[in-house]
């Protein structure tokens, strides 16, 4: 697509984003990125003006989570770029496709400690999949195409393009690179998507031979749009499924084969089934420490099939017996073919009925549970979540922050569809939920989007509700307000002998209702069980502005089950009322 069209670098940048079919971007202008904001006036791209650059990053992530398309954030240099560091790292840890554009001081000023200069590329090097300082306007289109290509293929991730101000101002001859030009410009980047046929066949044999298999499903299955294929595989072989924190919704919670979430706060069934399994079929999961507990004691008798598009994940934590590099959806589909072929050829699957009934016994005996609150006592957060779950429309998107409320959300919600759960899994970014929910709602305006937040998280990024009000993005926020940093408090209670240190906030400030109203939202406070349902119904009925519901909940509540950090999953601490049944977990 050669042309003689002369554009400024800024015009080329915006035109490039349009060529990449960007519909919406999140950002905040400033000195060095100013030139790029001028052509934006005439652009088809919707720009959402945030109140803090961190918000722009998390919005881009939320958008990418629910749409599968890359989220785009654009901010200026220096402090704006450093404010983007947390979302970039978050997106890197959770493999979220994202393209960030940062302004930079003019090329002649680079390295002089100019006003609002920082080494953005250096700072973000280890938290992006790739980054690039573009030194010439002519290089911009290729840099944009490369960024989108890298962000969305292979293992997705954030890519940053740093653009000096003069590069935005200089004239260039428009040229949109072809696919071949992009591929040729990246000789070191060739993601493998198709699994090795011999390995897939070997995996299929192991599956057929296994008497105690578990499908250990991670976020990679969602990234690969592989939920349907996964379900077909699970149902074909009747293999129980655990879905990690990043994979909630990849397999329906209401499916009889679903065991829920594994890991530190996973269900006793999911945790124990992995420990006792003779085969773990890890699909797009990475043996995170929050899942494995003490690695040397994790699933000691299990052989491992590890499917991942990133070869570096294989053998990083646990050596697989059958490593398969590839896209989860494609590999699962090939695996199904291989299984059918082997069975058609006369190979009989091992009998797993005893395993199934053992697992189902655990499911019956160890459901997620909590003690309902005494009459007149403070609300239980789990109760609020159950009510919210039951009162919200099917397919509601739930977005959480990080802490106790995140774990309860993951536990007590029923995720029956993929892409209905958005959270910060790897980095554990407090303050993620409000901006991520805004991004999710922008990506899926047809869906009800609830942010579930703790009071600690909410106070970190609540200002983005102003963005939501002004931009008419009607998200709903449920704050589980226990006036504490709940998860930290829980650890101090359990591991520091009730010595509470710097975890208590305040019961009286802020006034969340007034604060919400000041930001243009409807604010509702809920203090007793009787008020819960009507507050939720009211919130669900408001669609012209954001709503914030503050649930004042018991500060003493703890998340169970729990595997203490660094301990073996065999030492799972059960919900107190279930401890007397522990011997059934065999």
Partner 1 sequence: MTGSNPYGTAANHHVLSVLVQNRPGVLARVASLFARRGYNIFSLAVAPTEQEDYSRITIVVDLESATLEQMVKQLFKLVDVVRISELDPRNSVERELMVATVRSTPEQRGQIVELTNIFEGKILGVGPEALSVSLDGSPEKLNDFSELLRQYGIIESQRTGRVALPKLDRTARVRAVNQTKGKAS
In the residue annotation, 116 being an active-site residue is answered as yes
Q: Residue 102 forms beta bridges with which residues?
A: 75, 162
The three-state secondary structure class of 420 is: coil
Interacting span for partner 1 (CB under 8 A) from 127-135, 348-356, 386-394, 576-584? 127-135
Report if residue 315 touches partner 1, rule: CB under 8 A.
yes
125 binds partner 1 (CB under 8 A): yes
Burial (CB < 10 A; 0-12, 13-18, 19+), residue 179, is exposed
| Cβ atoms of residues 122 and 182 within 8 Å | no
Backbone angles phi, psi at 513, to 5 degrees: -70, -50
Binder to partner 1 among 38, 82, 114, 130 (CB under 8 A)? 130
State the minimum distance, in angstroms, from the CB of residue 170 to partner 1: 19
First to last CA, the chain: 65
The stretch among 33-41, 147-155, 488-496, 518-526 that binds partner 1 (CB under 8 A) is: 147-155
Active-site residue, 19 included: no
What contacts 190, CB < 8 A, 6 or more positions away?
none
Give the DSSP per-residue string, 124-145. HGGGSSEEEE---GGGHHHHHH
Q: Which of 171, 295, 312, 565 binds partner 1 (CB under 8 A)?
A: 312
Tokens representing 469? Answer: 């009000």
Measured at the alpha carbon of residue 420, what is the angle toward residues 418 and 424, in degrees to the nearest 5?
Answer: 105
**Segment contacting partner 1 (CB under 8 A): 62-70, 99-107, 154-162, 517-525?**
154-162
Beta partners for residue 400, in sequence order: 452
Q: Which of 65, 145, 155, 248 binds partner 1 (CB under 8 A)?
A: 155
Judged by beta carbon, residue 79 or residue 315, the one nearer partner 1 is 315
Please state the closest distance from residue 317 (CB atom) to partner 1, in A: 10
Show contacts with partner 1 in window 319-338 (CB under 8 A): 325-326
Of these, 305, 309, 322, 335, which contacts partner 1 (CB under 8 A)? 309
- Check if 578 is active-site: no
**Segment contacting partner 1 by CB under 8 A, of 149-157, 254-262, 329-337, 401-409:** 149-157
310, 471, 533, 570: which one contacts partner 1 (CB under 8 A)?
310
User: CA 465 to CA 545: how far, in whole Å?
Assistant: 10
Helix (H) or strand (E) holding 451: strand 449-454
Q: Check binding of 192 to partner 1 (CB under 8 A).
A: yes
Q: Which is nearer to partner 1, 40 or 150 (CB)?
A: 150
- Residue 311 or 428 with smaller CB distance to partner 1: 311
477-510 burial, b at 16+ Cβ within 10 Å, e below that, comes to: bbbbbbbbbbbbbbbbeeeeeeeeeebebeeeeb
165 among known catalytic residues: yes
Residue with tokens 């536990």: 411
Taking alpha carbons only, the member of 450, 466, 451 closest to residue 540 is 450
Instruction: Find the binder of partner 1 among 42, 187, 499, 583 (CB under 8 A).
Output: 187
- Contact segment (CB under 8 A) with partner 1 among 62-70, 77-85, 129-137, 366-374 equals 129-137
List 11, 20, 53, 334, catalytic entry: 53
Q: Is 121 in the site for partner 1 (CB under 8 A)?
A: yes
Kindly report the CA angle at 118 between 117 and 123, in degrees rounded to 5? 165
For partner 1, the binding residue among 316, 472, 514, 581 (CB under 8 A) is 316
Q: Beta strand 213-217 with 171-175: parallel, antiparallel or unpaired?
A: unpaired
List contacts with partner 1 (CB under 8 A). Answer: 95, 121-122, 125-126, 129-130, 133, 150, 154-157, 186-193, 308-312, 314-316, 325-326
Catalytic residue numbers, as ranges = 53, 115-116, 165, 487
């Amino acid at each position: 697509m050669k042309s003689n069209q002369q554009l400024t670098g800024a015009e080329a940048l915006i035109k490039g984003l349009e060529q990449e079919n960007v519909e919406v971007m999140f950002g905040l202008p400033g000195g060095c990125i100013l030139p790029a904001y001028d052509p934006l006036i005439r652009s088809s791209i919707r720009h959402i003006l945030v109140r803090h650059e961190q918000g722009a990053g998390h919005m881009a992530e939320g958008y990418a989570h629910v749409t599968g398309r890359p989220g785009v954030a654009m901010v200026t240099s220096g402090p704006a770029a450093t404010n983007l560091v947390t979302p970039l790292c978050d997106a890197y840890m959770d493999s979220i496709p994202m393209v960030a554009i940062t302004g930079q001081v003019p090329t002649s000023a680079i390295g002089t400690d100019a006003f609002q200069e920082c080494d953005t590329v250096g700072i973000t090097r280890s938290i992006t999949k790739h980054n690039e300082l573009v030194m010439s306007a002519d290089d911009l289109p290729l840099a944009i195409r490369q960024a989108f290509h890298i962000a969305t293929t292979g293992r997705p991730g954030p890519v940053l393009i740093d653009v000096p101000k003069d590069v935005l101002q200089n004239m260039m001859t428009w040229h949109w690179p072809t696919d071949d030009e992009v591929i040729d410009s990246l000789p070191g980047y060739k993601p493998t998507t198709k699994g090795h046929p011999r390995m897939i066949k070997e995996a299929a044999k192991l599956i057929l031979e296994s008497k105690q298999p578990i499908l250990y499903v991670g976020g990679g299955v969602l990234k690969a749009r592989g939920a349907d294929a996964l379900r077909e595989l699970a149902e074909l072989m009747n293999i129980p499924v655990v879905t990690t924190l990043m994979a909630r919704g990849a397999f329906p919670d209401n499916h009889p084969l679903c065991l829920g979430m594994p890991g530190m706060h996973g269900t006793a069934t999911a945790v124990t089934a992995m420990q006792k399994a003779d085969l773990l079929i890890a699909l797009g999961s990475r043996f995170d420490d929050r899942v494995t507990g003490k690695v040397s004691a994790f699933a000691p008798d299990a052989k491992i099939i590890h499917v991942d598009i990133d070869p570096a994940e294989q053998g990083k934590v646990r050596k697989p017996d059958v490593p398969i590099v590839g896209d989860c959806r494609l590999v699962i589909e090939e695996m199904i073919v291989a299984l059918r072929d082997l069975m058609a050829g006369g190979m009989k699957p091992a009998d797993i009925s005893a395993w199934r009934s053992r697992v189902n016994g655990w499911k019956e005996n160890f459901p997620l549970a909590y003690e309902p609150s005494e009459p007149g006592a403070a609300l239980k957060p789990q109760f609020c979540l159950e009510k919210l779950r039951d009162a919200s429309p099917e397919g509601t998107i739930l977005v959480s922050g990080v802490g106790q409320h995140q774990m309860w959300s993951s536990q007590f919600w029923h995720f029956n569809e993929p892409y209905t759960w958005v959270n910060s899994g790897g980095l554990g970014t407090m303050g993620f939920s409000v901006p991520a929910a805004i991004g999710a709602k922008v990506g899926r305006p047809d869906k009800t989007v609830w942010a579930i937040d703790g009071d600690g998280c909410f106070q970190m990024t609540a200002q983005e509700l102003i963005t939501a009000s002004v931009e008419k993005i009607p998200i709903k926020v449920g704050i589980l307000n226990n006036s504490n940093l709940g998860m930290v408090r829980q650890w101090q209670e359990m591991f520091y002998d009730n010595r509470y240190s710097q975890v208590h906030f305040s019961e009286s400030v802020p006034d969340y209702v007034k604060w919400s109203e000041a930001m243009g939202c409807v604010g509702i406070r809920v203090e007793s069980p009787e008020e819960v349902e009507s507050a939720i119904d009211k919130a669900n009925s408001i669609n012209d502005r954001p709503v914030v519901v503050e649930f004042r909940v018991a500060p003493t509540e703890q998340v169970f089950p729990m595997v203490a950090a660094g301990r073996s999953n065999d030492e799972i601490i059960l919900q107190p009322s279930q401890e007397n049944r522990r011997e059934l977990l065999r």
